[in-house]
Amino acid sequence: HFEKMLYDQALLVMAYTEAYQATGKEDYKKTAREIIEYVLRDMTSPEGGFYSAEDADSEGVEGKFYVWTTEELEAVLGKEDAELIARLYNARLGGNYSEEASGESSGGNILYLRGPLDGLAMSFGENAEAVLERVETARQKLFEARERRIHPHKDDKILTDWNGLMIAALSKAASAFGEPSYADAAKRAADFILTTMRGEDGRLLHRYRTGEAGITAHADDYAFLIWGLLDLYEASFDAEYLRTAIALQKDMNEHYIDTERGGYYFTANDAEEMIIRHKEVYDGAVPSANSAALLNLLRIGRITGDASYEETAENLGKAFSAVVEQAPSAYTLFLAGLDFGIGPSYEIVISGERGKEDTERMLEAIRGVYVQNKVVLLRDSGSGIEVIAPFTKEQETIDGKATAYVCMNYECELPVTEPEKIRGLLSR
C-alpha cells in the first residue's frame, strides 16, 4: 500500500534514530534523515504544522506516482545508469511486485535496496565511491522526473496528536544527530499548535484546516503533544516548552482521568455525553494515549520531584496490568513506561550556560551515550528551571566549569566537569 501517514513517518524516525544511537550504524541515521527530508519538504504547512497524509493513488492508479518501469528508468537515466539502478534497486523487466487483488505482475517496480548501499556498491568491482556518486546523481534525476508527475492527493488536515509525534521525532533526531534545524522545525510546529489550536478556555483542539481549528481534543492529543514537548525541551532546553508540557498534563488529569480505576478516557469529562467512555491501552499502528501518558507522567515526576505524578502513573499501570499481561507484545510503549519506572533510569542535570563551549561539550557527551530511560535538565541562568525542578537548586557549576550531575531516584554520583566521564556514570 502506498499511502503515507504522518504518524508512520514520525514513529519510523524515532525507531531509526534510536537504532542509530544504539548501534552507530550510519544507514539508520541516513534513513531517518531522508524521512525527515520528505516530511519537511512535502508534509509541512506554511504555518509550520504537519499535514496528515498523502493518498496511495494518483490518476486513479495506486502507486503510479512511486513506481517505475525499466523503460522509464532508461528514458531518464540512459542505458548504463538505468542498468546500475535496476541491479541495486531490484527493478525487473516485468515489474518486481504483484497486484494485491489479482496477484498478477504489476509491470512496475518499487525501487528498494537488497542491503546496505555501501556494500552493494563494493560488489560491482569498481571504485565504490564512484558507484555511490553515480547512484546519487541518478536518484536526483529520478526525483526530478517524478516531481513532474501528477502528485497524489494530500490530506492537509493538521492533527494535534500526530503533530505531537512528529515534534517528538524531530526533537529526538535533533539531539541525536546534532541537527538544530530539526529542533527549529519542531518548535515551529509546537508554537503553531499552542497558539492556533486552542479554544477560548486555553484547552487543546484536535484539528486545523484552511484557517479553522475545531473539535475538542482527545486524550491522544494531550498525551502525544506532551510527549513532543518533553522531547523538544531536551533538544532546545527552552524551559517554556517544559512548563507548557506540565500545564497540559494537569489539564489532562483534570478532564480525562478515571479517578476511580486509573487511566485516561479517550474523551473529556465535559465533552458530548456518550453511552460508554472508552479507555484505550492497545499500542497498534499508533501507540495509545495511556501508554504515552504513563511515560509522560514518570518523566514529569522525575523532573519536578512531585510524587503525585508518579502515583498517577502507578495507578495507570495497575489499571491495565491484567490486560497487558495477557499479550505483552500488543502493549510495547506501555512496557517501555514500565521499564522506565522499574529502572534503572536517570535524572541528569547540566549546570552551565547554554551556548558556551564547555556546556555544549557536556551535552554532546550525554547525547553520545544511548540511555533510553533518562530525563536531562539544563540549569542555566534565566531559565527558571529551579522553580520547575527544585532539586536542581543546589546543583551548581564547579570552578566556573559546566558540571554534570548524574542521579538515580535523586541519589547523585559525585559531580563531574570532564565530559569523557559521563559514559562511565551512565553505564553503571
Split into its structural domains, the chain has a count of 2
The pLDDT value recorded for residue 115 is 77
**143 within a domain of the structure (yes/no):** no
Residue 403 contacts residue 422 (beta carbons within 8 Å)? no
Cross-strand bridge partners of residue 345: none
Check pLDDT > 70 for residue 75.
Answer: yes
Same domain, 336 and 353: no
End residue of a domain, out of 341, 364, 394:
341
Q: What is the mean pLDDT of residues 73-97?
A: 93
Task: For residues 104 and 271, give the distance between their C-alpha atoms in angstroms, rounded to a whole number.
Answer: 49
* Structural domain that includes position 310: 257-341
Check pLDDT > 90 for residue 281.
Answer: yes
Q: Which three cell numbers stand for residue 92?
A: 525487473
Q: What is the mean pLDDT of residues 242-254?
A: 98
Tell me the average pLDDT of the chain: 94
Same domain, 326 and 353: no
Residue 294 contacts residue 320 (beta carbons within 8 Å)? no
Same domain, 304 and 380: no
Same domain, 318 and 275: yes
How would residue 98 be classed by pLDDT, with cut points 50, 70 and 90? Answer: confident
Task: For residues 333 and 338, give the distance between their C-alpha atoms in angstroms, rounded to a whole number.
Answer: 9
Task: For residues 422 and 314, give the distance between their C-alpha atoms in angstroms, rounded to a whole number.
Answer: 30
End residue of a domain, out of 312, 341, 370:
341
**Coil, strand or helix at 75:** helix
The pLDDT value recorded for residue 326 is 96
Residue 203 contacts residue 253 (beta carbons within 8 Å)? no
Same domain, 261 and 290: yes
Check pLDDT > 80 for residue 102.
Answer: no
**245 within a domain of the structure (yes/no):** no
Same domain, 386 and 325: no
The pLDDT value recorded for residue 428 is 65
Check pLDDT > 80 for residue 197.
Answer: yes
Residue that wins the pLDDT comparison between 294 and 343: 294
**Using one digit for the tens of pLDDT, what is the confidence trace for 225-234?**
999 999 999 9
**279 within a domain of the structure (yes/no):** yes
Q: What is the model's pTM?
A: 0.95
Q: What is the mean pLDDT of residues 119-135?
A: 79
**147 within a domain of the structure (yes/no):** no
Same domain, 309 and 323: yes
How would residue 126 be classed by pLDDT, with cut points 50, 70 and 90? Answer: low
The pLDDT value recorded for residue 409 is 83
End residue of a domain, out of 323, 341, 359:
341
Task: For residues 222 and 292, give the distance between their C-alpha atoms in angstroms, rounded to a whole number.
Answer: 10
Same domain, 317 and 365: no
Residue 391 DSSP label: G
Task: For residues 289 and 265, give the distance between their C-alpha atoms in angstroms, rounded to a whole number.
Answer: 9
The pLDDT value recorded for residue 248 is 99
**88 within a domain of the structure (yes/no):** no
Same domain, 262 and 327: yes
**234 within a domain of the structure (yes/no):** no
The pLDDT value recorded for residue 112 is 93
**167 within a domain of the structure (yes/no):** no
Residue type, 96: N
Q: What is the mean pLDDT of residues 51-64?
A: 93
Q: What is the CATH number of the domain that holds 370?
A: 3.40.30
**266 within a domain of the structure (yes/no):** yes
Where is average pLDDT lowest: 54-58, 69-73, 136-140, 272-276?
272-276
Check pLDDT > 80 for residue 33.
Answer: yes
